[in-house]
């Protein structure tokens, strides 16, 4: 009996090589299809972002600017568009406080924005939102005033939230009257000065400014009975106040 290995039958060998050739062809075809699919997905002309929908309550946000900015920063196809990067770009816009971005099949993008709520003009060239955060409005004062009326607050850098909270506390005290604050100044030493809508300037000092403002509110009816016009009221006293009257030139 021979110990030599049996030779493969010719029929079985040909079947093996045919199967191997078929597998290689199938693999090459799959690679080719994947390359074509990748090229298609990367081709902006084949799958562009066509529809960018902006939603959310907004007054100052320009939808067209958002759409243009997204298309300029994300020029690729719908499949290549980076949602996280687009979110960062939109949220970095001046009037956008918060934003969310998501794709919408097959070629759309949904952008939901929460607009900054301006509470005051800060140092003449910035705005404060409702939380006391400063932001650059990038809008003219004329356009701003045509849509909303805001007080002017002035103060040292870093005092934005203190100034806004102080303004709110004082204005809530004045709400029972026909008076409101049009300008408020917070000095480097944190002394409070305000100007009211009737032109009266109040010097409230550094401490107990709410109590001092209450003193003014209590005495304002008596002051208003005078024939002369008030220029300023100095309330930096433990009790009482000092009134500065307008001269004839100022009154005119």
Tens of pLDDT along 31-71?
876 776 666 555 545 567 888 999 999 999 999 999 999 98
pLDDT, position 131: 95
Spell out the alpha helix ranges (H) of 2-62: 10-42
Query: Encoding tokens for residue 235?
Result: 């309330």
Give the relative orientation of helices 209-224 and 160-174 as an angle to the nearest 10 degrees: 40
Look at residue 195 and tell me whether its pLDDT is greater than 90: yes
Q: How does residue 202 score in pLDDT terms, banded at 50, 70 and 90?
A: very high
Q: Which helix (H) or strand (E) holds 189?
A: none
- Residues contacting residue 218 through CB under 8 Å, at least 6 positions apart: none
The CA–CA distances, whole Å, from 50 to 46, 65, 150 equal 11, 15, 39
Give me the pLDDT at residue 44, please: 46
pLDDT of residue 38: 64
Q: Give me the helices (H) in 43-92, please.
A: 63-73, 83-91
In this predicted structure, the answer to whether residue 136 has a pLDDT above a threshold of 50 is yes
* Span 121-144, average pLDDT: 89
The DSSP bridge pattern shows strands 51-55 and 108-115 to be parallel
Is this model's pTM higher than 0.85 or not? no
More confident residue, 195 or 27: 195
90-126: buried (b, 16+ CB within 10 Å) or exposed (e) per residue? beebebbbebebeeeeeeebebebebbebbbbbeeee
Which residue shows structure tokens 């300037």? 201
Q: Using the 8-state DSSP alphabet, how is residue 62 labeled?
A: -
- pLDDT surpasses 90 at 158: yes
pLDDT level of residue 251 (50, 70, 90 thresholds)? low
Closest CA to 117 of 159, 63, 60, 156: 60
Mean pLDDT of 164-181: 96
Can you list the domains of the chain with their CATH numbers?
51-115 (3.10.20.310), 118-251 (3.40.50.11690)
238's torsion region: left (phi>0), alpha (psi -120 to 50) or beta?
Answer: alpha
* Per-residue model confidence (pLDDT) at position 45: 54
Identify the weakest region by mean pLDDT among 64-68, 74-78, 135-139, 214-218.
74-78
Q: Compute the distance between CA of residue 184 and CA of residue 164 in angstroms, rounded to an integer.
A: 10
| Token pair belonging to 19 | 């199967």
Q: Give the pLDDT confidence score for residue 244 in this predicted structure.
A: 96
Residue 245 confidence class, pLDDT cut points 50, 70, 90? very high
Interval 83-124: pLDDT, tens: 999 999 999 999 999 999 999 888 889 999 999 999 999 999
**CA distance linking residue 46 with residue 49, whole number of Å:** 10
Confidence band, pLDDT 50/70/90 cuts, at residue 27: confident
Distance CA 117, CA 128 (A): 8
The residues with which 102 forms a beta bridge, in sequence order, are: 110
Question: What is the distance between the alpha carbons of residues 229 and 222, in angstroms, rounded to a whole number?
Answer: 13
The answer, yes or no, to whether residue 181 has pLDDT greater than 80, is yes
Please give the mean pLDDT across all residues of the chain: 87
Mean pLDDT, rounded, for 133-159: 88
- Which pair of structure tokens corresponds to residue 79? 């499949």
Mean pLDDT of 239-249: 87
């Amino acid at each position: 009996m021979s110990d030599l290995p049996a030779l493969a039958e010719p029929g079985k060998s040909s079947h093996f090589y045919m199967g191997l050739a078929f597998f290689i062809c199938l693999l090459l075809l799959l690679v080719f299809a994947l390359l074509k699919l990748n090229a298609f997905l990367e081709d902006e002309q084949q799958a562009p972002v066509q529809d960018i929908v902006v939603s959310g309550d907004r007054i100052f946000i320009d939808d067209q600017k958002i759409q243009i900015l997204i298309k300029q920063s994300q020029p690729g196809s719908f499949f290549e568009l980076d949602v996280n990067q687009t979110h960062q770009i939109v949220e970095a816009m001046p009037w956008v406080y918060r934003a969310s971005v998501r794709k919408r099949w097959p070629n759309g993008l949904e952008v939901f924005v929460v607009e900054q709520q301006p509470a005051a003009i800060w140092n003449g060239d910035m705005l404060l939102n409702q939380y006391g955060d400063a932001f650059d409005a990038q809008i003219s004062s004329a356009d701003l005033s045509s849509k909303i009326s805001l007080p002017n607050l002035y103060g040292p850098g870093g005092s934005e939230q203190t100034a806004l909270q102080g303004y709110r506390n004082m204005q809530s005290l004045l709400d029972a009257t026909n008076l409101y604050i049009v300008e408020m100044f917070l000095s480097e030493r944190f002394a409070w000065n305000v100007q009211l809508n009737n032109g009266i300037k109040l010097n409230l000092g550094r401490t107990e400014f709410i109590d001092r403002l209450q003193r003014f509110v209590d005495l304002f009816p008596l002051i208003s009975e005078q024939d002369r016009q008030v220029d300023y009221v100095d309330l930096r006293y433990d009790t009482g106040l000092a009134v500065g009257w307008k001269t004839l030139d100022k009154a005119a």
